Amino acid sequence: MSNTRSHTSPQADLKKSTVKLFLAVAAWVGSTALMSFGPSAFWDFDTAITFLAIVANLILGVLMLYSFFRHLKNMDELQRQTHLEAMALTLGITMVLTVIYGALPQAKVVASAQPANVLFVIGMSYILSVITLWLRRTRE
Amino acid sequence: MKNRLKALRADRDWTQADLADRLHVTRQTINAIEKGKYDPSLPLAFKIAAVFGMPIEEIFSPDTK
C-alpha cells in the first residue's frame, strides 16, 4: 500500500526528489530560453539548429514532468492532496481567466493576448493555492 | 471523522514528531489529523491502528453532527 521501493527515509527521498525537480525545471527553463533567443542571438536562424533546440526543449519538458510525478509520489498524503487540490484550483482559475483574457483583444481592450501572461497566471495560481490550502490544514 | 489520536499519543508520551516518524508522514499531517482538518486515507488509518496496536474503529469514529 505504501511506497516500498525506497530504502531511505521518506523525508530524505522527498529532499532528493526536490533537488532533482529543481534541476529538471532549471534545465527546461534554460532550454526554453535557448529555443526562444538562440536563433537570433547564437545561430542566425539556422533551421536545423532551431529544430534541435526544440527537440531538446521537448525532451527536457518530458523529463521535468517525470521529475514532478516522482516528487508527488515522494510526498506524504497530506502534501500530495494539497498539491492535487491546488492543481484543480489552478485549472479552474486559469480556464476562467483565460476566457476573459482571450475576449479582451476582440473587445479592443488590449492589442493582443500574450501566452506568457497565461503562464504567469498558472504559476501564481498554483503557488498561492498550495500555500493557502497547506496553511488552512496545518496552521497550529 | 473524529479520532482519539491526541489522547493515544499522550498516553504513550509521544510527540507529534515521534508519531510522524513511526508513520513516515510529516508532523503537519499528524497535527491536521488530530485537529480534524484532514481525514487520513485507509492505508494510513491502518498504519495508525498498527502503531497503536488497536482496531481502527477504536481510534476513528464517524462524525455524527
Indicate yes or no: CB of A1 within 8 angstroms of CB of B31: no
- Residue B15, chain A, CB below 8 Å: the answer is no
| Cβ–Cβ gap A10/B31 under 8 Å | no
Q: Residue B64 pLDDT > 50, yes or no?
A: yes
**Contact B28/A138, CB-based, under 8 Å?**
yes
Q: How far off is chain B from A84, nearest CA to CA, in Å? A: 15
pLDDT for res A11: 79
Length of chain A: 140
Q: Which CATH architecture has domain B2-53?
A: Orthogonal Bundle (1.10)
CB A129 within 8 A of CB A84: no
Chain B CA closest to residue A2: B43
> For the segment A61-102, what is each residue's pLDDT rounded down to a tens digit?
999 999 999 999 999 999 999 999 999 999 999 999 999 999
Q: Where are the domains of chain B?
A: 2-53
Round to whole Å and give the CA distance between A36 and A41.
Answer: 9
Cβ A122 vs Cβ A87: under 8 Å: no
Q: What are the φ and ψ backbone dihedral angles of A57, each rounded to 5 degrees?
A: -65, -40
Q: Say what the pTM is.
A: 0.83
Classify residue A17 by burial, with Cβ atoms within 10 Å: 0-12, 13-18, 19+.
buried
